[in-house]
Amino acid sequence: MFKNVLKLYLISRLKTGLITVSLGDFISQKIEMHYDKKKKFDRKRFIIQSCWAFVVTPYFLVQYHYLETFCKVIGLKTLLMNIFYLQFVSSPICYFLFFMHNSLLNGKGFRKAFEIFNERIIDLIIDNGKFWPFVNMINFYFLPYSLRVYFSQFMSLIWNVYLSFFLHAKKH
């Protein structure tokens, strides 16, 4: 029974993540097409971005479980510890995986993936720091554990639109 419940839980989270990531790229491409009438919807890009959900959703499920288990927010100190961890440990790992995922699925190889990562990670971490700490403050301080992934994925929709712009603003 527990395995079935866990399986349903993971499937529901993956579906939510898939919708969020896919919709983020879809909105991003529609906005790009609005401003550049010559631009066409890129199905390959959409599929690659959508597949990212199968990496990022389990990754953050583990992160939130870790934080809830070992660093539960009970005050300002643990809130700041969580935000620090997500900003300076978890996010760089996630973005490393993001650049690897996109580069490899676009046939660019590890070397090019590392080049793109090194070239763009600082800007992405700075932008991340302008958005996610505030989202995480709300997420960890005001929301119950059961709603955190949902809230995070909703805010991820906004972030995924930006992330898609960010990744595709400069073709490599």
Per-residue pLDDT of the chain (172 residues; tens, 9 = 90+): 767 777 787 888 888 889 999 999 999 999 999 999 999 999 999 999 999 999 998 888 888 788 888 888 788 888 899 889 989 999 999 999 999 999 999 999 999 999 999 999 999 999 999 999 999 899 888 888 788 777 877 898 999 999 999 998 865 4
| Residue 167 host element (H or E) | helix 145-168
Alpha-carbon span 52 to 141, nearest angstrom:
28
Q: H-helix or E-strand containing 14?
A: helix 2-35
- Distance from C-alpha of 136 to C-alpha of 32, rounded to nearest angstrom: 28
Query: pTM to 2 decimals?
Result: 0.85
Q: Count CA atoms closer than 13 A to 145's CA, side-chain side.
A: 12
- Judge contact between 25 and 102, C-beta under 8 A: no
> For residue 29, what pLDDT is reported?
96
pLDDT on residue 172: 46
